Amino acid sequence: MIVVTGAAGFIGSNLVAGLNAAGHTDILAVDDLAEGARFRNLRGLRIADYADRADFMKMIDGGLPRGTRIEAVLHQGACTDTMEWDGRYMLGNNFEYGKKLLRFCDSFRIPFIYASSASVYGKGESGFAEDAEGRNEYPLNVYAWSKHLFDAWLRAQSRGLRCQAVGLRYFNVFGPQEMHKGRMASMVYRTYIQLREKGFVELFEGTDGFPAGEQKRDFIHVSDVVRVNLFFLEHPEISGIFNCGTGKARSFNDVAKTLISLMGRGEIRYVPFPENLRGTYQSFTEADTARLVGAGFGEGFRPLEEAVGDYYRFLEDREGLLCQAGGTRS
């Protein structure tokens, strides 16, 4: 059995779909469905069982039921709201939960692959390469710090671990099943919604030395993120922390112009940069992929225009309305 935590979320549900496509159906989906609309992300997928997160944690504390064999844990469950400043809540979800899961996996020698974040690099002034000492990590908010803290804890434990432990630092992921995320949905999805509903998209004026709309991010389609996860699942001999991005930064203007071209209408309007985001905003991200490639992942990533085009057609087929309900604590 493969355990996927955060299975009803954006990346988690895509991972379940990817596992299904690879022939895996013996899957335990773990999540908190207090926001019940997110069940839609699991609709049509094949799983063996579902467990509420609290019940799953009790199972871990009490030991595995007789006859249960877990092949791997793909840990995607977290609070992903970068605007959440409740540190106790954030660390409980993103640090303590992860520590308990890793200890459990290590005791049974179960491969553990988890979601980290490129937010640990902050403004990226020292680059976006994974560093064994974390010297280029400078998180700008408590979400990023919670991810940095777990990565640092893993590094400190790594020599004594008996299980595979892989952290994937996701850059700016976009694609199907993210509609429930509200304000934390990708820039690609929010741009599509603005263009569809208003006929224009609002981008920030210049900031951090970047001209209007020229802030750049490493945008990666969720299908590529799934392929990276499955690569490490197939290579349990590899452990470590790896960037999960395309290695090519693209501007917000590029995303908006691609969608405007696909839709055949729309315009860009530039708005003042919000004061409350100054000092906590990443105006540039670009994964250094050397370590990932060195580990053997050589498949490459989809170009932005192709990936955005596929996502646009997906949204148009569904009128952009899938799973709009739900909050940000997921």
Q: Which residues are catalytic?
A: 143, 181
Instruction: Report the distance separating Cα 13 and Cα 6, nearest Å.
Output: 8
The residues with which 250 forms a beta bridge, in sequence order, are 217
CB 112 within 8 A of CB 157: no
Tokens linked to 232: 């490490």
**Residue 321 identity (one-letter amino acid):** L
64 secondary structure, DSSP code: P
Q: Catalogue the E-assigned strands of 27-100.
A: 27-31, 49-52, 72-75
Establish how many alpha carbons lie within 13 A of residue 102's alpha carbon, considering only the half-sphere containing its beta carbon.
26
Strands 112-117 and 72-75: parallel
CB 163 within 8 A of CB 109: yes
Q: Give how far Cα 32 sits from Cα of 6, 62, 96, 205, 282, Å.
A: 8, 20, 16, 38, 29
